[in-house]
Structure 1
């Protein structure tokens, strides 16, 4: 296929200053550890580290039940009965399957034939939704596979450069494309908004490089400036300026071939004997407008889903409720939308978020009160229609309170993971398809550490049944769980609550609840208020 020649030097350098890279600074590449480009290497482009979800990395959160359970990932037929026929019809990237670098990654998938099926099974709830967005913009359908390269379709992974979400935006580029990030919410992890942002950015890059998608993808990985300068160098030397002839960072030289290898496999999975998860060509999710802030536990009840399922589909919300300032939307399984909307319309406004009444005491400020109730000063001001920080002793304030989700606790732990104070030893029994690189990513350690602990080389081939030693860092919070008091949350006991259920919900011990509240036994009553120390001082992210 003929390559489109990019703009000349003047236009290239001018455009290089306009946008940031999705996973990079203006001119730099991914600020991450480069993946080993060996036969046994994991195909994910970056070294990613699982963000803690209140569990160890060895125990991933349960998959949402809108997807079929992972079973056989043997190659699927190349018919149009699944979404893959539709994807093939929308292909728009050049077919480069014979290129040496593309062949390298095709062969990797052939040697690890279950990997792609497992990733696509995890991505199943999102695939039709994202493909619809891609088709609405008339973009190449292969972009549906880009999150496989970027994040293995994990919204809960962070690169060492703090790129996040399935499209791996760094904070600055996320903000540039309207992805809000605060204490409540991180739009980079919002499947809906981050997909729009990524497709916006990819469209701009494609236009910038005169319709050359390989150059656009290289710029998504390395930054516009890096690609533009490589083009300028080749122009000055009279050399070709297509992707394959540019002197680009090593990671970027292998980034585009990873995607093109997936294109080839999806085009003919039977030929390559690599399994595709059979995703039905039908909508699975819908975006629902909430009309205001809503507790996630309330949303789960209205949708007849578990809280884990709500958070899995909406990983951008870090706290117990949606952001007071928006966005006010949730992705929900399509078959739950109608009943959810009916139930939400009937829900009294005062029941969308739980509230407490606090009387201001001598010496208290809005900041003190916000910290005590695990909320923000701005929300207290908005809730109580305060135009300043001035409050008077004896005043009563309405306080929004609710049970913090497991994801909120995880958000606090993510910060503390960076300052781990001690480690624990795990033993992993190698399963078919396991690689050192994949296990390092799963357990949040480096490839070099994992190899050193087990006295093997970093490119060693693992044997099923082999046992590996893994040392995982634990946070200072985890080390002191149950003994160090963080922020106090006043929890109103609900009908059906018990000390046992509350202890599980908040991750604290029954004996601590009894101690904090001077309880002689296990008897509690609805409406009773309990003080719970559930989190270390949360910070704006």
Structure 2
């Protein structure tokens, strides 16, 4: 039987009930410890329950409803038993138990839901669900699994577990300015970026989450490692997906091209990682080759499985929940006391009636349309091939938000503002010739003569230089061929002497 026609009993609420028990064991509301079986026995039961659930699923697909229901009930009873005892069993790793649930939740062709599950879940949920929610949203927040199902809303599939919650706090506090800037920047580029994701049947919130974490929506962002553009492609990876030099312009900086390449990358890696969104994001950040080696021949393994999670770099462990948290806030800002600004991102264009650079246009447009931070970033993002300092001739067409079309005519085509903008832009800055600093101004000059000094315990190059007014750290290091300024007790150094 196809997954889309699986029996109605094969929904997620039984798992939700089992996970609720585990959540209680792992939270501050830990139940009173009970006499539990030995740890290895408990894990053996967990493995049996996992295999039983897989058997039940296969039986359901084959149309054997009666056998499937029995296998399912037996598996769920075992999982509930493990969940109830884990909190009271010394050494029981709740992370390991959660990872099994995470794996089972994505077994149905790599998704939570099949066909009309979204409606039937509501029918089977306890009255009001958990906090009045139904479907995947009714699962305990700390244990909801993360995956991606084509055609489903990301809000139905994203997890609100501990790492994602911690990342949300960061977005709502220390990273809040970047989140708000990313939202505004994205709204003005949306008409160029979102169609690329939409064609790939990928959630818009995912695109926003990646962009918010990678660049904050700054098209010309470049990292210290050389990743570039709004979605921070490394050069080699970008080349693999059609990004590169085009008439002297690096297309990694083009928002539409970057979104297209990112969508193709995500599509490729989702297939590699069994539609596991966390693994795919980890590959995007830490390298797909490394992630494939970790996963090995078990494509259904959970990102939070200790054997995966513990091998990841700290950057990747933080990156994945940060992207998911930004995506979730994009979908549900009101639930977190967050209000994104209203942005009219409709596409527009202007034809220059007089020569002007993007910086001059920024000055003459001022705060038009209520943009108190000015339009420089938006103009750059929409016209990434242009140097913002270079004046463009009359007749050049520029992409701008539609809200600026009338503002350009009123403020920048004629009148005092473009004159002021040009005056500021062409201001002459005096050229100052650097004067070489003389070492004699700070310390006596040195000669080619040196004296010997034997390194004592506790000495550093700085402390030795302070003992001799005519020596400095670099002089001593160069004169003694010291690599990394490393000293050894008893070592004899040549120290410069004053003239």
TM tier, shorter chain? 0.3 to 0.5
Higher RCO structure, 1 or 2 (CA under 8 Å, sep 6+): 1
TM-score w.r.t. the length of structure 2 is 0.42
Higher normalized strand content (fraction of residues): 1
